[in-house]
Structure 1
Amino acid sequence: MRHPYAALVLLLCSFAGLVGSANARGVYGWVEFVELYLDGQQFNLKAKLDTGARSSSLDATDITPFERDGQHWVRFRVNRSGLQEAPLMEQPVARYVRIKRHSGPYDHRPVIRLPLCLGDELRTIDVNLTDRGRFIYPLLLGRKALARLAVVDPARTFIREPACTPGATGE
């Protein structure tokens, strides 16, 4: 015969594991400040942490693919509110992604890899470039970027300020 408290003990152990996992990764609000590091520049942006989105997107304009030494590259400007015109950036394209739009055909977007600081975690993540001018937040962090990095509390915002050391690698 099974012990009457066995199920309760298993439940409590599972809950303790989840809490430990959440503490290891850090709890964040559904909107947080992040730092991005591109072409020797630091960008401080508001990011929406969206576990419903698979991939991450960065607000960019003047997106122009080109080739350099037989490799795919992209030239773009990172949109930041309050700036007249952001400088042109150039990054190698990691790949292209096909994004299903709510209305109309699929959108093909270049994906770049960039260092991102969320709280005290510095990671290199993949982001696709697109004009997010109609959205409130210039950066959308999807679940692939958030996996093993963050637990999102949908009732809170701006829980942790970025506190990373630029130049350190985060994988």
Structure 2
Amino acid sequence: MRPTVSVPKSAAVFVALLTAVAHAPSIAGTPSSLTILGTVEDATILEEDITLEGRLDTGATSSSLNALQQETFERDDAEWIRFEIIDPHNEDARITLERPIERSARIRQHSGELDERHVVRLELCLGDRKIEADTTLVDRTELTYQLLVGRSHMAGHILVDSGHEHLLPPDCPADEDSSDADE
């Protein structure tokens, strides 16, 4: 006759749950597939290869970029915008960027007022993630960070650890197309 082994119910439940979790399919957007970043990270605007310090804000729906001297113009039958950002290496210098305007957005301020802003597409490198999303242009010179990264850029890609900053520098792999062009 075999000896009887008594296992507490809580241990049996724990082992069953552990087994179920270990064998669960991996789902995109689950914590294990997300890059963990802090509330403040360096982000590279890929087209111009400019790295800015940005605040990752899970409370903001969209991202916004400090944009000075905004000027709209027409190019190839489309509306474009030319604007300046503060050079991250020299506060007194400016860098000029141009982008097609995707649309205009009405953003509600903390004061309750609505603000009309131009929206452009920005491809950012955050940690090891290359993410493209609509970004509003606004004068953020009175704020600490030139770039605010909202949920539209982070959803499905980034998990924010609110207790940390600067967890990963921008390090996105080069596009295969761009490496082919160099050969």
Return the offset for 1:101: 1.3
1:32 equivalent to 2:7? Answer: no
What is aligned with 1:165? 173
1:58 equivalent to 2:47? Answer: no
Mapping 1:20-169, distance limit 5 Å? 21-38=30-47, 41-81=48-88, 82-103=90-111, 105-167=113-175
CA–CA distance in 2 between the matches of 1:168 and 1:152?
29
1:20-70 CA-to-partner distances (Å, cap 9, x unmatched) read 9223111110111111123xx211111111000000000110011223343
1:47-103 CA-to-partner distances (Å, cap 9, x unmatched) read 111000000000110011223343221110122342433232221011111101123
After the TM superposition, which parts of structure 1 deviate over 4 Å for at least 4 consecutive aligned residues? 166-169
Where structure 2 has 5 or more consecutive residues not aligned to the other structure, the ranges are 1-8, 178-183
The answer to whether the 8 A contact 2:86-2:95 is kept is: no
CA–CA distance in 2 between the matches of 1:50 and 1:27?
14
- Structure 2 counterpart SS, 1:159: coil
What is the percentage of aligned positions where both structures have the same residue? 35
TM-score, normalised to structure 2, is: 0.77
- Structure 2 counterpart SS, 1:87: strand
CA–CA distance in 2 between the matches of 1:51 and 1:168?
31
TM-score, normalised to structure 1, is: 0.81
The amino acid across from 2:117 in the alignment is R
- Structure 1 counterpart SS, 2:168: coil
Where structure 1 has 5 or more consecutive residues not aligned to the other structure, the ranges are none
Higher alpha-carbon Rg? 2
CA–CA distance in 2 between the matches of 1:126 and 1:110?
10
Count of paired positions:
161
- Structure 2 counterpart SS, 1:9: helix
Cα RMSD (Å) of the superposition? 2.7
